[in-house]
Amino acid sequence: MKHFGWAETKLIPEVLFFQEGPGVRKWQFRESGVKLLNGRNINDNALDLSTTSVYLSEDEANGKYSHFLAEEGDFVIACSGITIEKFDKKSAFVKKEHLPLCMNTSTMRFKSLNENVLDIRFFNYYIRSNAFLSQLQRLITGSAQLNFGPSHVKKIAIPLPPLEEQKLIAGILDEADRVRKKTQALIDKYDELAQSLFLDMFGDPVTNPKGWKLRTVDECCLVTDYVANGSFASLKANVRYNYDKDFAVLVRTTDNTKGWNGNYVYVPESSFHFLSKSELSKGDLIIANVGDPGKCFLCPDLGQPMTLGPNSILVRSLVEKLNQPYLYHLFASSSGQRMIDRICSATAQKKFNKTSFRALEIPVPDAKTLDKFGQVIETHERQIGYEKNQLNKTEALFNALLQKAFKGELT
């Protein structure tokens, strides 16, 4: 069987060992021992084990579950509760510093059965390609989220060009990925610099060491949430419905933790009046209040009518000089996140309500200091805007190379 004109294909079980994590029960969780891998630990193609605090006892990990212990070089993915659009970010390699680590439910690991036949780095990029995702979509038709396991993986084919060609493709994509990550790291540094500037000028918003006047959010801000309308429940993200004008509703706010990602649904103009109270404008502060409460970002120039989606609130200043960048950095700071964390309900799904948020007391600095901050941040944001434009270009290059690679057009 030929694939894209240059390589024979194999089913994944023919070239890869793969294993889904066991269903460890909550009563088995411990506060220390061997860390259990969770899908939330896998983001942006890296493992961050600090995002969860679930462990298995050393006795169980090294006994009953010893065959689920991860090894250095294992390629792991999250395989449940994520969307196709985010799947390319939900994979990573296990490094020595991550060990000991035990697989858990909703995660899978892979390793090459023969490194002279398949380079695991090649497979790493293959699962991000349209060639892989199209197969996956066919296997999970009818599901809004990805929930797949060994039964699906067994049916997926992978192209196998000569090993040297695999390594060449992986090397080219490694370099494109390195440039992309370097640009993202620079943007992250700019964000850190902005937060440092905020603390220097205003101090910690919780302890308020500079003695700024305190006012409730309700006194100085307009706070709006999603205006529910059942007619939008069945609309799919980013699918246009051929109406005269494109009116859109922002969805999945928690996906936008590093800025706007354009994830929204389109609705007919005739239905948009239901949501007019939460229509967005450039500079609006949007904060997630369900799922990952406190994650926030400033809206860019959207270029089309758009309104707030579910699980988020819209915050606009009503006080002169209390600019949106100040509000963003206030709530995005570690102290601001703690303020929000304190009003979250201790339910299965972490969240806070609009009433509790409105009651929060925040410092309101003098107009002169706020104006100075606004001027400095404006210059700072211009530089970030430039870097984000560069990031978009590197993302586009990486994605173009990725798709070409698995059409046999890269080498």
User: Which string of DSSP letters, residue by residue, matches 296-320?
Assistant: EEE----SS-EE--SSEEEEEE-ST
Span 265-292, mean pLDDT?
Answer: 75
Question: Do 83 and 146 touch, CB atoms closer than 8 A?
Answer: yes
Residue 127 lies in a domain: yes
**Do 6 and 154 share a domain, yes or no?**
yes
Cis amide leading into 363 (omega within 30): no
Phi, psi of 177 (to 5 degrees): -70, -35
Query: Which range has the worst mean pLDDT, 122-131, 174-183, 192-201, 256-265?
Result: 256-265
**Do 227 and 342 share a domain, yes or no?**
yes
Residue 179 lies in a domain: no
**Do 147 and 227 share a domain, yes or no?**
no
Residue 56 lies in a domain: yes
pTM above 0.85, yes or no: no
Phi, psi of 296 (to 5 degrees): -145, 160
Residue 270 lies in a domain: yes
Residue 217 lies in a domain: yes
Query: pLDDT tens across 85-127, in order?
Result: 677 889 999 999 999 999 998 899 999 999 999 999 999 999 9
Query: Which range has the worst mean pLDDT, 39-53, 220-234, 246-260?
Result: 246-260
- Residue numbers of the domain that contains 274: 213-364
Query: pLDDT tens across 228-255, in order?
Result: 554 454 444 444 444 445 566 765 554 4
118, 137, 160 — which closes off a domain?
Answer: 160
Residue 246 lies in a domain: yes
Residue 372 lies in a domain: no
**Do 26 and 109 share a domain, yes or no?**
yes
Residue 298 lies in a domain: yes
Residue 77 or 233, more confident: 77
Query: Which range has the worst mean pLDDT, 75-89, 154-168, 234-248, 272-286?
Result: 234-248
**Do 144 and 17 share a domain, yes or no?**
yes
**Do 154 and 12 share a domain, yes or no?**
yes
Please count the other Cβ atoms lying within 10 Å of the Cβ belonging to residue 259. 13
The reported pLDDT for the residue numbered 389 is 84
Cβ-count burial 397-411 (b if 16+ within 10 Å, e if not): ebbebbeebbebebe
Q: State in Å, rounded, how far the first CA of the chain is from the last one.
A: 20
**Do 119 and 231 share a domain, yes or no?**
no
Domains contained in the chain, number: 2
Does residue 142 sit in helix, strand or coil?
coil
**Do 9 and 149 share a domain, yes or no?**
yes
**Do 222 and 135 share a domain, yes or no?**
no
Residue 158 or 269, more confident: 158
